[in-house]
Amino acid sequence: MSKIKIPYIAPSEITPEAVWLSRRKWLLQAGAGVAALGAGGLVPDLSAWAAGQQSSALPAQPNPQYWLSNKLTSEKDVSSYNNFYEFGTGKTDPLDYAGKMQTRPWTVSIEGEVAKPRTFDIDDLLKLASLEERIYRLRCVEAWSMVIPWSGYSLATLLKQVEPTSKAKYVEFVTAVQPDNMPGLGDRIIDWPYVEGLRIDEAMHPLTMLVFGVYGKVLPNQNGAPMRVAIPWKYGFKSGKSIVKIRLLEKMPVTSWVKIASNEYGFYANVNPDVPHPRWSQATERRIGDGIFAPRVDTLMFNGYADQVASLYTGMDLRKNY
């Protein structure tokens, strides 16, 4: 991997916990006021978000190798504006409905082309390596973006434990299915479970992260508790949530969005401003939290991670392999 430049982050760019807390109080008051006025349609009702704020601390050591100077997306936006279709297709459906998902007991089985297949208890995975806090960009295929402080460690750390065989060319991630707790499963948009995948070299790349926490706390359910992946140079849909199974395969898996519309969503899904989605441009993005009137910003090749990952795709036609 090429050397990563570590930019200096002005303290003003980082939102300290104290500011969070006071802002949270303000939001609570604002939420209550709005509810009293019956104007819920104009301002989002934040009471569900505020109620979910008791999630416990999850200490993680900041890793300056994976730090960005961009302003962080607020914790509120990170955990109230979500895509998690198992709970519905609306942006606040995950916040409103994911609370019922059971995240203990929870196991993650790793199978397929590995010398040592194994089922891990989630609490053992949490202890497998020391947790690092990394700031990653997230770029949704819907052309909005966030900057998020995740806690976890590289997926490679886990994969090395099970010893992938020489036939392991791809990695598949399978999300949990809890029919009683996931009201979105009734929508047949996706042939559940939600399945995503990577090529083995992408999965072993140190940027590919297993995530257990965000903003220094245990992942809220709506963000993919108890464990999800984060692959920051790819469109957000590649980063599967609430994973129960990881399969190492010889053949490329048919992932959920490829199955739905392979002309619109490819297996690679690398962020690429030069390759438009058939129905919209990917050249610019809207940063969540900037407000709808703020100017859009340019989308960066590989979401800004070209120095680290471009070499994975040498010689590939990225227009064909979208």
Residues that bind ligand MTE (CB under 6 A): 82-86, 138, 140, 175, 194, 223-224, 236-237, 239-242
| CB of 81 or CB of 170, closer to Mo ion | 81
Burial class of residue 15, CB neighbours in 10 A (0-12, 13-18, 19+):
middle
Q: Per-residue string for binding with Mo ion, 243-262, x by CB under 5 A?
A: --------------------
Tokens at 292, concatenated: 């709808």
Select from ligand MTE, Mo ion, none the partner in contact with residue 143, using the beta carbon and a kind-dependent cut-off of 5 to 8 Å: none
Q: How far, in Å, CA of 216 to CA of 210, rounded?
A: 15
In the complex, minimum distance from the CB of residue 174 to ligand MTE, in angstroms, rounded to a whole number:
9
Residue 273: asked if its preceding bond is cis (omega within 30°), the reply is no
Residue 140: CB atoms within 10 A of its CB come to 17
Q: How far, in Å, CA of 173 to CA of 302, rounded?
A: 21
Residue 187: CB atoms within 10 A of its CB come to 12
Full 3-state SS string of 247-299? EEECCCCCCHHHHHCCCCCCCCCECCCCCCECCECCCEEEECCCCCCCCCEEC
In the complex, minimum distance from the CB of residue 279 to ligand MTE, in angstroms, rounded to a whole number:
15
Select from ligand MTE, Mo ion, none the partner in contact with residue 92, using the beta carbon and a kind-dependent cut-off of 5 to 8 Å: none
147: nearest Cα among 1, 306, 289: 289
Looking only at the bridges linking them, the beta strands covering 144-154 and 284-287 are: parallel
| CB of 145 or CB of 221, closer to Mo ion | 145
Tokens at 264, concatenated: 């619109």
232: nearest Cα among 144, 138, 154, 160: 138
Select from Mo ion, ligand MTE, none the partner in contact with residue 82, using the beta carbon and a kind-dependent cut-off of 5 to 8 Å: ligand MTE
DSSP H or E run through 204: helix 200-204
- Binding residue for Mo ion (CB under 5 A) from 9, 28, 129, 140? 140
- Binding residue for Mo ion (CB under 5 A) from 85, 136, 215, 237? 237
| CB of 82 or CB of 92, closer to ligand MTE | 82
Tokens at 30, concatenated: 């604002």
In the complex, minimum distance from the CB of residue 163 to ligand MTE, in angstroms, rounded to a whole number:
27
| CB of 110 or CB of 231, closer to Mo ion | 231
Q: Work out whether 236 is an interface residue with Mo ion (CB under 5 A).
A: yes
Helix (H, G, I), strand (E, B) or coil at 121: strand
| CB of 84 or CB of 268, closer to ligand MTE | 84
DSSP H or E run through 150: strand 144-154
Select from Mo ion, ligand MTE, none the partner in contact with residue 194, using the beta carbon and a kind-dependent cut-off of 5 to 8 Å: ligand MTE
Number of residues that bind Mo ion (CB under 5 A): 5
In the complex, minimum distance from the CB of residue 96 to ligand MTE, in angstroms, rounded to a whole number:
13
In the complex, minimum distance from the CB of residue 30 to ligand MTE, in angstroms, rounded to a whole number:
23
| CB of 34 or CB of 98, closer to ligand MTE | 98
* Residue 281 CA from chain centroid, whole number: 22
Select from Mo ion, ligand MTE, none the partner in contact with residue 97, using the beta carbon and a kind-dependent cut-off of 5 to 8 Å: none
In the complex, minimum distance from the CB of residue 20 to ligand MTE, in angstroms, rounded to a whole number:
18
- Binding segment for Mo ion (CB under 5 A), chosen from 57-65, 169-177, 200-208, 232-240, is 232-240
Residues 6+ apart with CB under 8 A from 271: 139, 233, 234, 235, 282, 299, 300, 301, 302, 303
In the complex, minimum distance from the CB of residue 182 to ligand MTE, in angstroms, rounded to a whole number:
10
Q: Work out whether 143 is an interface residue with Mo ion (CB under 5 A).
A: no
Residue with tokens 């090529």: 199
Residues forming the site for Mo ion (CB under 5 A) = 83, 140-141, 236-237
